[in-house]
Structure 1
Amino acid sequence: MTPQTTLALVRHGETAWNAQKRIQGRSDIPLNATGREQVRATARAMQVDEWDFIVCSPLSRARESAEILGTELGINVVAEVPALVERDYGPAEGLQDSEELNALRIPGGFTGAETELEVARRSTSALTDIVTTHHGKRIIVVAHGTLIRIAMTALTGAQVTMISNAAHSVLLHTAREDGPHEWHATIVNGEHYRHSAQISPAR
């Protein structure tokens, strides 16, 4: 029987910069009190299922979110995965909507920022490595809104426009010997989602 692996992609909880609508990117901004409670609420929603372990981005807001989930769900945070770090927004980081930010805008992002294609390549590679290494497991991956949105769209074709703070989305992965990988989303932003599987090349 072909093993199916489940990934729950969880965005970190709110930070002060999220509340102020600042572009955050790789700036290492910690959770605020609201963010911690958001993650606890997500953990309660996820308690209906069993999970094997957690991996996360190395940024502190993701690591703390992962640790809260681990405590609430009784599972371990086993690794930080550098490739799960948020998109690098370059000189746009820390800015709110303003003339200064608008001056940096280019199609698909900002001057000096990592491109969506670059984010897609590293995030999908990292997630594929996780499911390839841990066939049949149920894994929580704590990362960032833009990265999760881009990775889900690239892997499944789902048109995800935004990932909310602390929201969880679920991807199912089926590996086939000498054949394509199948990915499909069952939950997006905590809500059930119907979308046909997308096929990606075997690695």
Structure 2
Amino acid sequence: MTYITLVRHGQTDWNLAKRIQGSTDIPLNDTGREDARWAAEQLAAGTHHTVYTSPLVRARETGEIIANRLGIAIAGVVPDVREREFGEGEGMLVPEFIDKYGDWHAAVPGAESLSDVGARAIEALHTIAAEARRRSSPVAESVIVVAHGGVIRAVIDHVSSGTLPRDGEPILNGSAHRFLATPGYLRLLEESPVL
């Protein structure tokens, strides 16, 4: 079995402005670097073996800060844990997006659905878990994956089959959500800004 901790990247200027980033490659700001250092300190209380990141610079930089603090390697960059493509909504302020499209589940021209984001991200997490099992068998391995709020929300929605109330609950920058991964199965164990 593998433990996967999904960590949301630190803050960017677009997060601060409440602007939808999607696949736009926005770097961390100074607060975001502090978020990453804070997350690393919280994660240092546990045992973790490797870090994977989204290819977007805000996630890669967060992952590098965490890996450096924990003294572990970045095992790879995983394209399928990148943020949701927002199509025409990308770059809009959140209130403008809600006014125009209604909610996060709306069909937006050129955007991925949350369901599609969840499917690609979960497949990627199972691939990461399988690699971890090959490395660590029979001992459990703990892996950190630095991703994005939309990805984490989509994964939680998928594994809970929509039974957990999530709309309106923010996925905070630097927060962590811990999952148990076994072949064909992913379960949310713990969600907290402190893991």
Kindly provide the CA deviation profile for residues 44-86 of structure 1, in whole angstroms up to 9, marking residues without a partner as x. Answer: 1111111111011000000000000011111111211111110
Q: Distance in 2 between matches of 1:119 and 1:173?
A: 18
Q: Name the CA shift for 1:99/1:119 in 2 (closer, same or farther; >3 Å).
A: closer
* Residue 11 of structure 2 is aligned to residue 11 of structure 1: no
Kindly provide the CA deviation profile for residues 17-40 of structure 1, in whole angstroms up to 9, marking residues without a partner as x. Answer: 000001111110000000100110
Question: Structure 1 residue 190: deviation in Å?
Answer: 2.6
* Residue 177 of structure 2 is aligned to residue 169 of structure 1: yes
Q: Distance in 2 between matches of 1:90 and 1:116?
A: 13
Asked which structure has the greater CA Rg, the reply is 1
Structure 2: gaps (5+ residues): 134-139
* Residue 192 of structure 2 is aligned to residue 184 of structure 1: no
Aligned residue in 1 for 2:124: 126
Aligned residue in 2 for 1:91: 88
Measured on the aligned residues, the alpha-carbon RMSD in Å equals: 2.0
TM-score (norm 1): 0.83
Q: Which amino acid aligns with 1:72?
A: R
CA contact (8 A) 1:163 1:189 kept: no
2:141 pairs with 130, 137, 148, which one? Answer: 137
Structure 1: gaps (5+ residues): 176-180, 193-203
Bigger RCO of structures 1 and 2 (CA < 8 A, at least 6 apart): 2
Structure 1 stretches (4+) deviating beyond 6 angstroms? none
Percent identity for Structure 1 against Structure 2? 35
How many corresponding residue pairs?
Answer: 184
Kindly provide the CA deviation profile for residues 165-186 of structure 1, in whole angstroms up to 9, marking residues without a partner as x. Answer: 01011001233xxxxx343222
Q: Distance in 1 between matches of 2:47 and 2:19?
A: 35
Q: Name the CA shift for 1:99/1:15 in 2 (closer, same or farther; >3 Å).
A: closer
Q: Distance in 2 between matches of 1:41 and 1:107?
A: 29
